[in-house]
Structure 1
Amino acid sequence: MGHQRIWTKMQQHFQDIQGFLEWAISIGNSVNGFPLLVIEISDKPGEEETKPAFKYIGNVHGDEPVGRELLINLANWLCDNYLKDPLVFFFLYLHRYNLAKLIVENVHLHLLPSMNPDGFSLRKRGNANNIDLNRDFPDQFFSLNDDEDSRQPETRAIMNWLRDIRFTASATLHGGALVANYPWDGSEDKRTKYYGCPDDDAFRFMASIYSHSHYNMSSSKEFLSGITNGAAWYPLYGGMQDWNYIHAGCFELTLEISDNKWPNSTELPILWKYNKMSLLNLVASLVKTGVHGRIYSSVDGKPLPGSITVSGINYTVTAGKTLGDYHRFLAPRDKYEVVATMIGYKSKNTTIWLDDGPVTLDFVLDPEVSIKESVVQNVYDCDCNSKSTQEFVQFLWGAHLEVFFILIVILGFLLFLFQRRAKIKVPTSRQLSGSKKTVEV
């Protein structure tokens, strides 16, 4: 395909749809210095938003270019269909129109057509250093690639990218098979066996969305329903899929979209037709299911960068530092118990049902205030503008206010006895009783 023609066309779309598409964002360079260009699609490109972010990455292996071409087609399709007249498309392309509008306005989409431009130009699997980029990430089971300086520049670019942006979900496009692959990709003992992650149900649901939207992936004779657990297919280590889930809070699939790794260019329109609805539906699934919301402080109403967990699933999703927004992908089922936590605040939990679409759930957390903090706060809330007074109160508190209070009570009682001594003779038992009563009051 003519890449220059495509980029020119996209630039024209950008001029026509101002504020809709920001294109050619570089997240780094390849070994040979080729920029890793990301197409960003949103109604508010370049801004931090409270909507979920999704990314597609193609051409991880240089000799698997189909994903590269399909992602450029996807960007073009969204540009072509976003602002079409709804009356014209109401009868003919209702589903198409709604999907384009849904994605642009409700998902922050990022497309990296080629993670390995050097390998593509050399028509080989690895990058210019002959390193398989899908084996170059830190691994959970074995000490691989723990030295960040030793990783490939393409790998470091992806890792830094995910430090900047909180992606809810993503997928990489590969070739050589026809199946939707989900974590874990490896196992502790390196054996080929099913090894599911904590969100196994959610990943199976994600993979099924792609498979069943595809022209023929779900009818695979090799893979039941066209999906597979990575370790059950063949274990691999240092993969990007598992790293995303563990370290970046991102649910990632590995999509094998073509049996032929490098098909003839004449087959690309057919491959696009077969994968188009899968690509669109997987992105749209972020807003069609799961639980979404924000975490606030009850004190001032400001957003909190808290955490979201789901009872029974050993996995934590972190809310945004600035907006306090979270997006938790979950498979539809009867109910989930969702818990919001934040250091210095009391946790809250509630039960949701996901059998009928997504749920919006905001949490307002109350701070954990100790008795000591409460007393000090009351002192400062009074109309005490004297700095020396505040320092004196702090001094008293630091020296245990309770001791001073007891001493004051005892001195007062002794003074009372001194005044009454000439008139009334008070028994010792009466004195003890009076002292005890005063302390209680």
Structure 2
Amino acid sequence: MFLANWLCDNHLKDPLAKLIVENVHLHLLPSLNPDGFTLRKRGNANNIDLNRDFPDQFLFLNDDEDSRQPETRAIMNWSRDIQFTASATLHGGALVANYPWDGTDDKRTFYYGCPDDDAFRFMASIYSHSHYNMSSSKEFLDGITNGAAWYPLYGGMQDWNYIHAGCFELTLEISDNKWPVAAELPIIWKYNKMSMLNLVASLVKTGVHGRIYSSGDGRPLPASITVSGINYTVRAGRTFADYHRLLAPRDKYEVVATMPGYKSRNTTIWLDEGAMTLDFVLDPEVSVKGGILQNVYDCNCDSKSKLEFVEFLWGSHFEVFFVFIVILGFLCILFQKRKKVKISTTKQRTVMV
């Protein structure tokens, strides 16, 4: 809560606070496990460790969401509903910024990076190097670690968020003391203040973001964003089709926007220290079926789609529509002439017989 209070008190006078308040939708959850926090134990009221309760990519028998604890289900629903760009969970008992993957497919302990390993290392380094002494750790190089290289765990929130919610999550161990008393909290806040602020601000200062539209009618498209060479998909928002793709700076990327029923579009960018705005305008795919020009995406036959089809033709594709009508008229004339010739020939043959 120190973070929330500081932002409220300083957003009119501190540039960093102003940047965050004006550009970031920041959600704060005081405790994921209020019962365990009160009882000073890892488990919840049912004595279940919530950070081992999420479905896991390496434990296929752990996929049943209905069997999750209520706190776990609430977080899963919340994450998918909001579509967070990034998140961080605060833990105690060590001093390190931890990033995916947390587990390995064979349960061994070794470095096992996710597709966005470079971006996660960049985010973790921002936190560590902004901290009072995290980057000076003797146990973890630069104060950061891959989860599986530290110790593999399964059913964790960090990996689930990245895989299923499109959210880049760090696990931040912010104090060597597992259960600090209230009197220690101001010191912990002091040591972590700039780390928290710089990490949140990095969501504005880095990566590529924008919106995706249809060239036909300008409507927002909840399309998918991929980056060549990185096996991960970010989906644009359902309402405004806005997206934010976190990427490590100082590199070249090919960004691709795709949407069913539309032609994909790609562009190559050089991402420097700052963030880049990149909007996409996608052209509808068009096919001819049964002599009728159709937008593939709107080819169902309800009245709304028919209206959209007419608007599509009468709008920016009027020239195509006009040429189509001319060709159709020409074919009709040829058909009529051919029919008359056929009738005349038939009559001549009848006379000859």
Does 1:137 pair with 2:65? no
Which of 262, 269, 274 is residue 352 of structure 1 equivalent to? 269
Does 1:108 pair with 2:21? no
Does 1:83 pair with 2:1? no
Deviates more, 1:259-268 or 1:103-112: 259-268
Report the CA distance between 1:335 and its aligned residue. 1.1
Report the CA distance between 1:295 and its aligned residue. 0.4
- Map 1:174-185; keep pairs closer than 5 Å: 174-185=91-102
Instruction: Give me the whole-angstrom Cα distance separating, in 2, the residues matched to 1:198 and 1:327.
Output: 17
TM-score (norm 1): 0.68
Instruction: Give me the whole-angstrom Cα distance separating, in 1, the residues matched to 2:256 and 2:291.
Output: 26
Instruction: Give me the whole-angstrom Cα distance separating, in 2, the residues matched to 1:287 and 1:76.
Output: 21
Could you report, residue by residue, the CA deviation over 1:69-91 in whole angstroms, capped at 9, with x for unpaired residues? Answer: xxx1001101111134xxxxxxx
Structure 1 match to 2:2 = 73
Q: What secondary structure, in the 3-state scheme, does the structure 1 residue paired with 2:292 have? A: helix
Does 1:414 pair with 2:317? no
TM-score (norm 2): 0.85
Which of 330, 337, 346 is residue 254 of structure 2 equivalent to? 337
Does 1:207 pair with 2:136? no
Deviates more, 1:132-141 or 1:353-362: 353-362
Report the CA distance between 1:410 and its aligned residue. 4.1
CA contact (8 A) 1:185 1:237 kept: yes
CA contact (8 A) 2:287 2:294 kept: no
Inter-CA distance 137–355: structure 2 relative to 1 (3 Å threshold)? same
Percent identity, please: 81
Could you report, residue by residue, the CA deviation over 1:273-312 in whole angstroms, capped at 9, with x for unpaired residues? Answer: 1100001111110010100000000111010000000000
Instruction: Give me the whole-angstrom Cα distance separating, in 2, the residues matched to 1:112 and 1:303.
Output: 31
Could you report, residue by residue, the CA deviation over 1:294-338 in whole angstroms, capped at 9, with x for unpaired residues? Answer: 000011101000000000000000001110100000000231000
Does 1:303 pair with 2:232? no
CA contact (8 A) 1:82 1:100 kept: yes
Query: Structure 2: where are the runs of 5+ without partners?
Result: 296-305, 312-330
CA contact (8 A) 2:204 2:275 kept: yes
Instruction: Give me the whole-angstrom Cα distance separating, in 2, the residues matched to 1:190 and 1:406.
Output: 74
Structure 2 match to 1:35 = none
Does 1:283 pair with 2:211? no
Could you report, residue by residue, the CA deviation over 1:127-164 in whole angstroms, capped at 9, with x for unpaired residues? Answer: 11111110000000112532222211110110111121
Structure 1 match to 2:67 = 150
Structure 1 match to 2:244 = 327
Q: What secondary structure, in the 3-state scheme, does the structure 1 residue paired with 2:107 have? A: coil
- Map 1:31-50; keep pairs closer than 5 Å: none
CA contact (8 A) 2:223 2:259 kept: yes
Query: Structure 1: where are the runs of 5+ without partners?
Result: 1-71, 85-96, 383-402, 422-441
Structure 2 match to 1:434 = none
- Map 1:264-283; keep pairs closer than 5 Å: 264-283=181-200
Could you report, residue by residue, the CA deviation over 1:153-199 in whole angstroms, capped at 9, with x for unpaired residues? Answer: 11011011112101000010001110000000000000000000000
CA contact (8 A) 1:81 1:100 kept: yes
Structure 1 match to 2:105 = 188
CA contact (8 A) 1:145 1:151 kept: no
Count of aligned pairs between the two proteins: 319
Letter in 1 for 2:47: N
Inter-CA distance 224–405: structure 2 relative to 1 (3 Å threshold)? farther
- Considering only aligned residues, what root-mean-square deviation do their CA atoms show, in Å? 2.5
Deviates more, 1:175-184 or 1:255-264: 255-264
Inter-CA distance 100–381: structure 2 relative to 1 (3 Å threshold)? closer
Structure whose alpha-carbon radius of gyration is higher: 1
Inter-CA distance 197–374: structure 2 relative to 1 (3 Å threshold)? farther
Q: What secondary structure, in the 3-state scheme, does the structure 1 residue paired with 2:286 have? A: coil
Structure 2 match to 1:364 = 281
Instruction: Give me the whole-angstrom Cα distance separating, in 1, the residues matched to 2:166 and 2:346.
Output: 73
Instruction: Give me the whole-angstrom Cα distance separating, in 2, the residues matched to 1:377 and 1:339.
Output: 25
Inter-CA distance 419–356: structure 2 relative to 1 (3 Å threshold)? farther
Letter in 1 for 2:225: I
Instruction: Give me the whole-angstrom Cα distance separating, in 2, the residues matched to 1:287 and 1:219.
Output: 27
